[in-house]
């Protein structure tokens, strides 16, 4: 496994997207700081200097029909890696890792495509590792490995562990042997809870009911069951 470490990059995802042709399958790009870290849904991912920031390039082994499953597969692999340290860690569909609804890890998956053909996929992972206190604005919604465990952890071992588990899991996914649906249900933060979500530009409410084999979430509203494939989901407290 090749891991290249930088001191500063704009974004590990953007770096891979610019250079993917000369990078290897499952090559990892990691950095200590990002100046333009990207989050899901066009948001920014703030760099507090205490996070693990890395991206993995997947060039082969990825079938079009598996792309929608990838967010939960990546979330499962990270959950498996961190759960021994943080027993209250849960997966918040589609791919956040939370402890008591405070975010510990975010995942941004981007595909590199042209003419409707996917050439490669970039899996970007940000884990709050050693942050001791968060700014007031995100104090109630963010947590870190250190805050949850009072320990530090070797970041390069974590990267190696997550990346090799993902490589293995993609093989299982291609053989239809992946356990990611049952795993995501077992450790789901949302299932059975009242949530709000956006569908066709409308804010809707319902109970998160199930996760389908394709990775989509089923939500029961007052009069129908709706399948959501992506987007933002909030817990109603």
- Number of residues near ligand BTN (by CB under 6 A): 19
Query: Which segment (10-18, 80-88, 140-148, 187-195) binds ligand BTN by CB under 6 A?
Result: 10-18
Q: Taking CB under 6 A as the rule, does residue 126 contact ligand BTN?
A: yes
Instruction: Kindly state the tokens that stand for 143.
Output: 């947590």
Q: Report whether 47 contacts 53 (CB < 8 A).
A: yes
Instruction: Kindly state the tokens that stand for 117.
Output: 């053909």
Among 38, 189, 197, 233, binds ligand BTN (CB under 6 A): 38
Q: How far apart are CA 62 and CA 174, in angstroms?
A: 8
Write down the least CB distance from residue 125 to ligand BTN, Å.
6
The closest residue (CB) to ligand BTN is 106
Counts of helices then strands in the chain (DSSP H, E): 5, 12
Q: Taking CB under 6 A as the rule, does residue 206 contact ligand BTN?
A: no
Q: Which is nearer to ligand BTN, 124 or 215 (CB)?
A: 124
Query: Which segment (120-128, 132-140, 191-199, 211-219) binds ligand BTN by CB under 6 A?
Result: 120-128
| Helix axes 155-174 and 70-82, enclosed angle (nearest 10) | 140
How many residues in total does the chain contain? Answer: 237
Q: Check the CA dihedral 20-116-121-201 and report its sign.
A: positive
Write down the least CB distance from residue 39 to ligand BTN, Å.
3
Q: Which is nearer to ligand BTN, 31 or 188 (CB)?
A: 31
Q: How far apart are CA 159 and CA 165, in angstroms?
A: 10
- Residues lying near ligand BTN in the complex (CB under 6 A) are found at 11-13, 34, 37-40, 43, 45, 53, 55, 96, 106-108, 124-126
């Amino acid at each position: 496994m090749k891991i290249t470490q930088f001191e500063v990059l704009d974004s590990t995802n953007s770096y891979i997207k610019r250079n993917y042709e000369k990078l290897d399958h499952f090559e990892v790009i990691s950095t200590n700081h990002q100046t333009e870290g990207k989050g899901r849904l066009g948001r920014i991912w703030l760099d507090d200097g205490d996070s693990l920031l890395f991206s993995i390039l997947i060039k082969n082994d990825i079938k079009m029909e598996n792309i929608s499953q990838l967010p939960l597969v990546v979330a499962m692999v990270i959950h498996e890696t961190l759960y021994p340290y943080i027993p209250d860690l849960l997966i918040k569909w589609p791919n956040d890792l939370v402890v008591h609804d405070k975010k510990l890890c975010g995942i941004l998956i981007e595909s590199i495509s042209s003419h409707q053909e996917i050439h490669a996929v970039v899996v970007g992972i940000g884990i709050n590792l050693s942050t001791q206190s968060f700014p007031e604005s995100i104090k109630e919604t963010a947590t870190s490995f250190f805050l949850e465990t009072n320990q530090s952890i070797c970041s390069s071992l974590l990267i190696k562990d997550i990346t090799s588990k993902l490589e293995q899991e993609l093989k299982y996914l291609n053989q239809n042997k992946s356990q990611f649906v049952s795993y995501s249900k077992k450790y789901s933060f949302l299932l059975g809870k009242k949530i709000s979500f956006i569908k066709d530009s409308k804010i809707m409410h319902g109970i998160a009911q199930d996760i389908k084999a394709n990775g989509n979430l089923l939500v029961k509203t007052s009069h129908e069951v709706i399948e959501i494939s992506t987007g933002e989901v909030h817990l109603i407290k």
